[in-house]
Amino acid sequence: MTSQRLGEARRYEEASEKRIPDEERPAFHLSPRVGWMNDPNGFSWFEGKYHLFYQYNPYEVQWGPMHWGHAVSEDLLHWEYLPAALAPDQVWDRDGCFSGSAVTLADGRQLLMYTGVVRERQADGSWADVQAQCVAAGDGVDYEKYEKNPVLDEKDIPEGGSRNDFRDPKMWQEEDGTYRCVIGNRSADGSGQILLFSSPDGFAWHYEKVLAASRNRFGRMWECPDFFPLDGKWILIVSPQDMLPSGLEYHNGNGTLCLIGDYDKKTAEYEEIANQSVDYGIDFYAPQTVLAPDGRRIMIGWLQNWDTCSHRGQRDEGWFGQMSIPRELSVRNGRLCQKPIRELERMRQNKVEYENVALSGAVRLEGVRGRRIDMELEIRQEEGCGLYRKFTVCFAQNDSYYTSVSFRPDESVLKVDRKFSGSRKAVIHQRRSKVRHEGGRLKLRVILDRFSAEIFVNDGEQVLSLVLYTVQEAEDISFIAEGTVKLDVVKYDLV
């Protein structure tokens, strides 16, 4: 039965999506049907399609009462909206259906698990969110919330863990058919920990153990965990709040963290080996992965960061927030690597290619322009010219605006900069990352989709993502070298 609140949201989104012209939203990055979007939720493969749900407030371009929006796709690039899946309409989730995940049940239904939020008046008169985990089962369109919700609440949290920060369950199914989930929590030391739970059927859940703990190493609360095997290792991805910077690896505020380690399923012991950022750009948070039917581990993140949401300004374009390009994950040389999903190559058209361009000063190359493009660059030293000092590519450019990526080989630093993209807000517009290169040789792949840029470095060793709201007419691209750079360019339109 569709509740009144869900029915209202469904009618509202259907009537209101029409006021957003297709050209005024991203072409192949999922954006909300209408209103506000944050985290990806319930990323899954169900009955022959990928399903992606999202944190959703249809009524405003601001965060508000959290619903789950819903879309399906066969290639993760062309999306079809389905009616909103969840609304905050029960006593146990009346102040929000926060982030969560999806699995398939033994009887073929799809199970969603999410965090139900209830604001409670405290003894001192203040208000606090209490968070518990709830489930809903359905057919891929309509979901029925379980009458015994919540299935996990404060009684299931180990001693010292906070009932106010207990959220974002990510479930998976084991080979024996039973289920596990990881949930973000804040421990007595004020920092994040990840709790592991198990269930025989998806409805009855039991606490197992603390899978990993921050002990104040990485920010405060850890949001949106995901835990999965990849290339012989186990990857734990979390999104810490309130990070302190560490070199160019981690930056202040909301960040992303990837732990690479070994996991013993019998004892459920996780041993960390290495850590790194997931994305080194400005806008990326709360990623979630799916295991594709062909075995690929594919990740999508919210292409936004809480700290920079005001960058867009107050104008109401009908939508706010978008997802990243889906990324295929692998572990290479002990690091998490990401590549845009290969399905993107089917959208490539109008190839333009330049080889061995000797560049010094600024140039534009005939045919290299556009705001929906896939562009591969390889730069290196020109023989006999010594190491160049700096290489820059500017895009989304016209006489007034541009966004740039620049590389200084002597520092091994790559920088993205959207300061001149038309933004009128004092938020972070630049970010730098250490990258690997041999004698100035570097590979970049730049994906643009109207309101975003994602820069993949050295076949996915690093990614730097950002959103930009520059007018669409700004579609020039130019290259600038200080010193002499040898440049190869392959550019496609994405159609």
Q: C-beta of 198: minimal distance to ligand FRU in Å?
A: 22
Q: Which residues are catalytic?
A: 39
Report CA 455 to chain centroid distance, whole Å.
14
Q: Closer to ligand FRU by CB, 146 or 306: give it.
A: 306
Structure tokens at 382: 């020109």
Residue with tokens 């012209």: 21
Separation between Cα atoms, residue 224 and residue 183, nearest integer Å: 7
Structure tokens at 298: 């594919």
Q: Closer to ligand FRU by CB, 71 or 377: give it.
A: 71
Q: Closer to ligand FRU by CB, 257 or 396: give it.
A: 257
Separation between Cα atoms, residue 49 and residue 407, nearest integer Å: 40
Is 480 exposed, middle or buried (CB count within 10 Å of its CB: 0-12, 13-18, 19+)?
middle
Structure tokens at 90: 């029960």
Among 25, 145, 167, 311, which residue sits at the site for ligand FRU (rule: CB under 6 A)? 167
Among 13, 89, 93, 168, which residue sits at the site for ligand FRU (rule: CB under 6 A)? 168
Q: Closer to ligand FRU by CB, 167 or 311: give it.
A: 167
The answer to whether 239 touches 286, Cβ cutoff 8 Å, is yes
The answer to whether 267 touches 286, Cβ cutoff 8 Å, is no
Q: Is 174 helix (H, G, I), strand (E, B) or coil?
A: coil
Which x/- pattern, by CB under 6 A, does the window 260-289 give for ligand FRU? -------------------------xx---
Assess 484 for contact with ligand FRU (CB under 6 A). no
Reply yes or no: is the peptide bond before residue 245 cis, omega within 30 of 0: no
Which x/- pattern, by CB under 6 A, does the window 205-244 give for ligand FRU? ------------------xx--------------------
Which residues in the 29-48 window bind ligand FRU by CB under 6 A? 38-39
Q: C-beta of 66: minimal distance to ligand FRU in Å?
A: 5
Residue type, 401: Y
Separation between Cα atoms, residue 56 and residue 41, nearest integer Å: 10
Which residues in the 433-472 window bind ligand FRU by CB under 6 A? none
Assess 66 for contact with ligand FRU (CB under 6 A). yes
Q: Closer to ligand FRU by CB, 98 or 391: give it.
A: 98
Contacts of 156 (CB under 8 A, 6+ apart): 197, 205, 206, 207
Which x/- pattern, by CB under 6 A, does the window 82-121 give for ligand FRU? ----------------xx---------------x------
Binding stretches for ligand FRU (CB under 6 A): 38-39, 55, 66, 98-99, 115, 167-168, 223-224, 285-286
